[in-house]
Chains A and B, each alone.
Chain A
Amino acid sequence: MAAILTTQDVWADRRHRVKELRARQGFARQLLDFYGALLAVQEKAYVEAASVRPAGRNLASYCADVVVPGIVDVSLFAGPDQLRSQLLHRLETEQPLRMIEQWIAGDSQAMVDRYLARASLGPVLEALDAEARATCGGPRDARHCPECGGPPQLSYFERSADDLATGPRRLLCARCGASWGYPRMTCPGCSEDESTKLPVFSEYGTASGERGSVVRGLPADPVADPVHAVFPHVRIEACESCRQYVLSIDLATDRAAVPVVDEVAAIPLDLYARERGFTKVIPNLMGF
């Protein structure tokens, strides 16, 4: 029970962060408003799945029967016109069960199919244990989730209790939300580890040296010009070998950040990476 309560805090954190970013990053308001509405349905699905605990072999049918109706409702109610029309059209020609099975198997899908499958299955997999997640398809290598075999949605640096220590890098699974440790200077898309082929794009003024501090974990020099970065804690980690990228969230720079929410809101960085010819390892739930 204690574990479930702790995980429910995760949903509260997500909701709170959506509100925070909505106020701070007006450009992402349309997206965050919808994501906030979706979170309420997903949290309900999470709580229900934690109580029912569907077996791994019934995951797809459980989601199709129990979770999909709520996700469809909120999407039709709060989603943009294009999502609504695409969803209605697809539901006339394809069974949600099939979409979820494809997502579980790791097959390629149309964006709207993947959206519905991800939004429905995600909270259920989060609520279940590793045994249920193990029924999902996908490679179990360093670049994929060790629990469900899903691809990495994003990268983040853990918070560190010590100002002079750098937290380890972790990747967050796009399918089940589990995270796993991954070498900092290695591409999550192709394992390239030649650092000269791994450009990092971030806003000017966000590195410690630019903030007037020679120590990364310590506050900036109060005399130096303050940094007015939109994304002081988010950067693009790209790879020139496979031309893929992930967004990386630094929890040491912004301790209130919630990686899965901050990544959704960082569309300008996605657009910047795309402009330079990079493709995200996997688009996020909102299709970016």
Chain B
Amino acid sequence: MPTVTRREFLKVGVAGAGAVAATGLGFDIAVAESTRVKQNLRIAGAKELHSICPYCAVGCSLVAYTRQKSNGTTELLQIEGDPDSPVNEGRLCPKGATAMQLAISPRRVESPQYRASGATGWKSVSWDFVLDKIANNVKASRDASFITTDGNGSTVNRCEGIAFAGGAAFSSEEGYFATKLMRGLGLVHLEQQARV
């Protein structure tokens, strides 16, 4: 007499219970055919996650549809407007609707691009290079355009050679920090891009 392990017994029991429930009203042919179809379906689990559009100050809610790949990485499958959000009620502008390209576009630029003075093309450079370059240019422009007094002899201590534009997706804290930093440098031309 063949021996049946506890695991095998439970497996048969669960499968049997499922089959009984599936054929409760006797649609056995449909169940048999559907079982065959089910075995050939390529189904995978995914998760939906809330997110916010990164582009502008409206802050539209997004639903990001992601799937865990077998190598442990997360694959982004779909981004759409969140219909439950009172901000956008499921709608997205053409730019926000393509937010998925930020993550998956093969044409996405993945490193800073630099075109030297007089050069005809761009080249990829490191973030360290870019940050040093910006710091040097800010210093040079500020040194060259900083004035301590205006035409009337009044003390102004301002930098007229640099303007600053804040990004639309700035948080309040980022906006505060940027303003503080720019005022510290003496900038007077500050602007915020608050819409698309």
| Residue A199, interface by CB 8 Å | yes
* A231 CB, nearest partner CB in chain B, Å: 8
* B28 CB, nearest partner CB in chain A, Å: 7
Return chain A residues, CB-CB under 8 Å to B94.
164
Number of interface residues of B (CB under 8 A): 52
- Contact in complex: A112, B44 (CB < 8 Å): no
Q: Contacting chain B: which of A41-49, A57-65, A264-272?
A: A264-272
- Contact in complex: B92, A164 (CB < 8 Å): yes
Q: Contacting chain A: which of B75-83, B149-157, B161-169?
A: B75-83
**Given A165-B92, A274-B21, A287-B24, CB of A207 within 8 Å of CB of B46:** yes
What does the 1/0 interface line of B77-95 toward A look like (CB < 8 Å)?
Answer: 1111111100001111110
Q: Contacting chain A: which of B35-43, B139-147, B181-189?
A: B35-43
Return chain B residues, CB-CB under 8 Å to A34.
27
| Residue B13, interface by CB 8 Å | no
**Given A30-B29, A196-B47, CB of A268 within 8 Å of CB of B77:** no
What does the 1/0 interface line of B41-78 toward A look like (CB < 8 Å)?
Answer: 11111111110000000000001010000000000111
| Residue B125, interface by CB 8 Å | no
- Contact in complex: A30, B35 (CB < 8 Å): no
Q: Which residue from B28, B34, B42, B49 sits with its C-beta under 8 Å from A203? A: B42
* A74 CB, nearest partner CB in chain B, Å: 14
* B70 CB, nearest partner CB in chain A, Å: 13
**Given A164-B93, A209-B104, A267-B34, CB of A184 within 8 Å of CB of B48:** yes
| Complex Cα–Cα for A106 and B41 (A) | 35
| Residue A76, interface by CB 8 Å | no
- Contact in complex: B26, A82 (CB < 8 Å): yes
Return chain B residues, CB-CB under 8 Å to A66.
none
| Complex Cα–Cα for A115 and B76 (A) | 42
Return chain B residues, CB-CB under 8 Å to A236.
43
| Complex Cα–Cα for A165 and B90 (A) | 5
| Residue A81, interface by CB 8 Å | yes
| Complex Cα–Cα for A111 and B49 (A) | 37
Return chain A residues, CB-CB under 8 Å to B29.
29-30, 80
- A-B contacts, 22 listed (Cβ < 8 Å): A28-B34, A29-B33, A79-B26, A80-B25, A111-B24, A160-B90, A162-B91, A166-B90, A167-B83, A168-B83, A202-B43, A208-B77, A208-B100, A216-B80, A216-B97, A236-B43, A268-B37, A268-B38, A269-B43, A274-B21, A275-B18, A275-B38
**A-contacting residues of B (Cβ < 8 Å)?**
18, 21-31, 33-38, 41-50, 63, 65, 76-84, 89-94, 97-101, 104-105
